[in-house]
Structure 1
Amino acid sequence: MKVILVTPNFHQQRGNTITVQRIADKLSELKIRTEVVSITEENNIKTLPHGDIIHGFNAYRFYKFKEELATEINQYVVTITGTDLNHDLFDQNKRSDVVQSVIKAEFVHVFSDEAKQLLIREVPSVSKKVVIIPQDTDEFVVDTSSPFKKEEKTSLFVLPAGIRQVKNIPFAINGLKRLHEEFPFIRLLLVGPILEDKEWQKVKTLIDENQQWVQYIGEVPHQKMGTIYHQADVLLNTSYTEGQSTAIMEGMASELPVLVSNNNGNRSLVSNGLTGFVYENIFDFYDYAKQLILNPNKRRELGKAAKQYITKHHTNSNEAMSLLEIYNHIYNESK
């Protein structure tokens, strides 16, 4: 069996890229051949490579890509990844494409029950073909060739995210600025590619204004992220919406306390006060961040609980095997 994995911007270090590469690697271990096709803004692809199964990631982007192909795709699996569910489905210019994408799919793969319930509420007719398969996590090896070195006697907050509006990066800088005035030893490290130039100009202005304690190191190869997590004291996610953040999962697996915004994707991973902190507003953010700065025991407690949660629910979670069961069903039904 050969599976064609179709995903937006595979050349960039995004959450979808990490997810698709992990799935391809895991399927390879199961002796399944895979090939990745990258959907780009200037997409010129009109035909797909031959494959037994087509698996698209991001319902909106995949459907637009599919409709422009010279050959029709009659059977496919689609994975809801976050932006498609939380934004595109509620955008009047994109909603119909998202709806058609999931209606025409053989199966719709989501990462959590929260995502499933939201999708079914909006598109009830797909309820019987929505499948929840939690994401697995990658294991990192800490090496000495880190693209970043933490200053001694500092408390490091790390925000791994592509720079785009939905990630709400200015909130992290502005939110920690007040704390930096009180605790000048805190630092903020931003890691990720520039995905929206307009948003980058906003973020860059804030970085320049706070360069004594905010640093941006750009895109880091995924295999190097373990060294970043190893040096961090707290992992941040300030996104307006999320699917199921691989960065949060990796931080939790690295025994980091996480401080994340209150959205469906983040709540599917983090239980407030138990496996991390989930903030509602700037006041919560300030209070939780201050606790994490002042209380090393709390950091250790949350980090340990976070790792235990990820180990139980997202390590060797049979992600690839569950997908293979779906593929086999489609493959056998088509004979």
Structure 2
Amino acid sequence: MHILIASPHFNEWRGNKITAERIKQGIENRSHKVSVISSTEEGAPIPENIDLVHGFHAYKFAIFQKKYNIHLPYILTLTGTDINQNLEEEDKRDVILQCLQNAQIIHAFDSKMKEKVVHYLPDIQEKIKVMPQSVELNKKPLNKNPDPFIFLLPAGIRKVKNITSAIEMAAIMRDKYNIALELAGPVIEENEYKKIDHFLQKYDWLTYHGEIPFADMADFYKKADVVLNTSLSEGQSSALLEAMAAYRPVLASDIDGNRGVIKHEYSGFLYRNEEEFAMFAERLINNYEMRQKIAENAYIQVSENNSKEIEINTLLSWYSYALK
């Protein structure tokens, strides 16, 4: 079986790239051939003798499919942008829905994603399958008395990631605590980076590390005391799963995609406003035992629910079904 994975922006360190590379490795380890193409890159050559296409991001995959006149069976993995943004835009909705209708299988990371698609296409709910992403376990001991206390926010620089809010909330907390905020991720929207750069010139406790290769992120999780996600919308954050698998407590915005990953006050904290962010952050800063308990619960949760073996076995069964 020869699978083509079509992932947008594959040459940038984003969540889709990390997911696509993980799947490629897992499928190849089962003696199948996998090719990967960046569906948003101009002039990318299409490999020959493809049996099945696995597309990521329905709207961008639909554009790619039409551009290259691809008529092969395909499965689609939905993204946060599909569900939380593009489906709400009339000029993109019909393109996405047509693409979903023609897919053999549609992969959603959680039930909320499935519900949003079923709202528009109730007749296809049987072919929408729910499976969370897998993650590699990488447990590292917590720092008991950190100074400064480091918050890590791994995210591409985009408006939807709401990074400036993290900086502003951290600045308020600096009045009481010796904290540092570290940012890691590629610049995707220059206008957003300009806003962050303004703060970088202003605060010496704020650091931007730029785009970090996935293999190097383990060192950043090890150094962090708490990992943040401040997004306005998410599909399923691979960075949150990686943090939990690294035995780090997480503090994240209370949105659908994050609720699918974090069990509030068990495997992390979900905040709805600045006051809750400050309250949960203070509890984590002041209580090492709490940090340890949250990290332990999170680690157990991902070890039980986000298995790579289950992910690859399930995908192979979907691929076989799609080729019948």
TM-score, scaled relative to structure 2: 0.95
Superposition pairs for residues 1-335 of structure 1, below 5 Å? Answer: 1-40=1-40, 43-45=42-44, 47-69=46-68, 71-140=69-138, 153-183=147-177, 185-210=178-203, 212-331=204-323, 333=324
What SS does the corresponding residue of 1:94 show, helix, strand or coil?
A: helix
Number of positions where the alignment pairs a residue of Structure 1 with one of Structure 2 = 320
Q: What amino acid is the match of 2:98?
A: Q
- Structure-2 separation of matches of 1:43 and 1:125: 35
SS in 1 for 2:175: helix
Residues in 2 aligned to 1:296 and 1:188: alpha-carbon distance in whole angstroms: 19
Name the SS of the counterpart of 1:252 in structure 2.
helix
DSSP-derived class of the 1:31 partner: coil
Q: Aligned pair in 2 of structure 1 residues 116, 16: CA closer, same or farther (>3 Å)? A: same
Return the letter of the residue paired with 2:233. Answer: T
Q: Secondary structure at the match of 2:90?
A: coil
What SS class does the counterpart of residue 159 from structure 1 fall into? strand
The amino acid that maps onto 2:195 is K
Measure the CA separation in 1 of the matches of 2:57 and 2:128. 14
Residues 71-112 of structure 1: CA distance to partner in whole angstroms, max 9, x if unpaired? 332421111021111111111221111111111111101111
Tell whether the 8 Å contact from 2:51 to 2:73 is kept in structure 1 after alignment.
no
TM-fit CA distance, 1:297? 1.3
Q: 2:51 corresponds to which letter in structure 1?
A: D
Q: CA deviation at 1:25?
A: 0.5
SS at match of 2:13: coil
Scaled by the length of structure 1, what TM-score is found? 0.92
Q: Distance in 2 between matches of 1:177 and 1:49?
A: 54
Give the superposition deviation at 1:224. Answer: 1.0
Shift of 1:113: 1.3
- Tell me, in whole angstroms, the C-alpha distance in 2 between the residues paired with 1:39 and 1:196: 19
**CA offset at residue 249 of structure 1?**
0.2
Distance 1:238 1:114, change over 3 A: same
Q: Which residue of 2 aligns with 1:146?
A: none
Shift of 1:207: 2.0
AA aligned opposite 1:182: K
Q: Report how far residue 316 of structure 1 moved.
A: 3.5
What is the CA–CA distance in structure 1 between the aligned matches of 2:131 and 2:32, rounded to whole Å? Answer: 18
Q: CA deviation at 1:273?
A: 0.7
- Per-residue deviation, 1:141: 8.8
The answer on whether the counterparts of 1:140 and 1:223 sit within 8 Å (CA) in structure 2 is no
Letter in 1 for 2:86: D
CA contact (8 A) 1:135 1:317 kept: no
Report if aligned partners of 2:73, 2:103 keep a CA contact under 8 Å in 1.
yes
| 8 Å contact kept, 1:88–1:94 | yes
Conserved? CA contact 2:137–2:303, under 8 Å: no
Instruction: Work out whether residues 170 and 202 of structure 1, in 8 Å CA contact, stay in contact via their aligned partners in 2.
Output: yes
**2:54–2:75 Cα contact (<8 Å) kept:** yes
Query: Mind listing any 5+ residue stretches in structure 2 that lack a counterpart?
Result: none
Deviation at 1:327, TM superposition (A): 0.7
Counterpart-to-counterpart distance in 1, 2:309 and 2:81: 24
**1:116 to partner: Cα distance:** 1.1
Q: CA RMSD in A?
A: 1.6
Distance, in Å, in 2 between the alignment partners of 1:56 and 1:275 is: 31
Partners of 1:253 and 1:38 in 2: CA distance: 28
Whether contact under 8 Å (2:108, 2:129) holds in the other structure is yes
Given that residues 111 and 244 in structure 1 are in contact (C-alpha distance below 8 angstroms), is that contact kept between their aligned partners in structure 2? yes
